[in-house]
C-alpha cells in the first residue's frame, strides 16, 4: 500500500485549534481512513492546544498526518524543546489532562526531536477504529 501524507503549518494561536481539527477531519475523509474522526479531532485538539498554551514567540506549529497500511500517524511539531508530560489527575486543577487523554485513546504516542524543537505524535490502528 502507498503512504499518504499531509502537512499544514499554523501559527501557535487559539484560532489554529479549530483549523487543525478541520484539516484532520477533511484529510481523513479524503483518504477514507477508517479511524474514528471524533477521536482524531480530540487528540489533535489536545496536541495543538498544548503548543498554543506553552510555546511563545514567532514559532510555527506543523500538523502532520500520515496513513499507511491501516495505521494513522498524526504529529504536531513546534520550536520548543519542552516535552509534554502525562500529569497526575487532580480534582482542583481544571486543566492538564490533555496528554492523559492522548495516552488513553491512542494506540501509541511519543515525542521526538525535530530541529530545534520537538514533534509529539500519536498513532491509531484501523483495527481500533469505530
35-94 confidence digits (pLDDT tens)? 999 999 999 999 999 888 877 666 789 999 999 999 999 999 998 887 776 666 555 555
Phi/psi-derived region of residue 57, left when phi > 0, alpha when psi is between -120 and 50, beta in every other case: left
Q: How many domains does the chain have?
A: 1
CATH code of the domain in which 56 resides: 3.30.565.10
pLDDT in tens, 91-107: 555 555 678 889 999 99
pLDDT score of 100? 87
Tell me which residue range forms the domain holding 123. Answer: 4-128
How far apart CA 32 and CA 50 sit, in angstroms, is 28
**Rounded average pLDDT over 109-113:** 94
How high is the pLDDT of residue 109?
95
Q: Look at residue 95 in the predicted model and tell me its pLDDT.
A: 55
Amino acid at each position: 500500500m502507498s503512504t499518504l501524507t499531509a502537512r499544514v503549518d499554523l501559527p501557535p494561536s487559539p484560532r489554529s485549534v479549530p483549523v487543525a481539527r478541520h484539516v484532520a477531519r477533511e484529510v481523513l475523509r479524503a483518504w477514507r481512513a477508517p479511524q474514528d474522526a471524533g477521536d482524531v479531532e480530540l487528540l489533535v485538539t489536545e496536541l495543538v492546544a498544548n503548543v498554543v498554551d506553552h510555546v511563545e514567540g514567532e514559532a510555527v506549529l506543523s500538523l502532520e498526518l500520515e496513513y499507511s497500511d491501516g495505521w494513522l500517524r498524526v504529529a504536531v511539531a513546534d520550536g520548543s524543546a519542552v516535552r509534554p508530560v502525562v500529569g497526575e489527575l487532580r480534582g482542583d486543577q481544571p486543566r492538564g489532562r490533555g496528554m492523559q487523554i492522548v495516552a488513553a485513546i491512542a494506540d501509541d504516542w511519543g515525542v521526538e526531536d525535530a530541529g530545534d524543537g520537538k514533534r509529539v505524535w500519536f498513532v491509531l490502528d484501523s483495527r481500533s477504529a469505530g
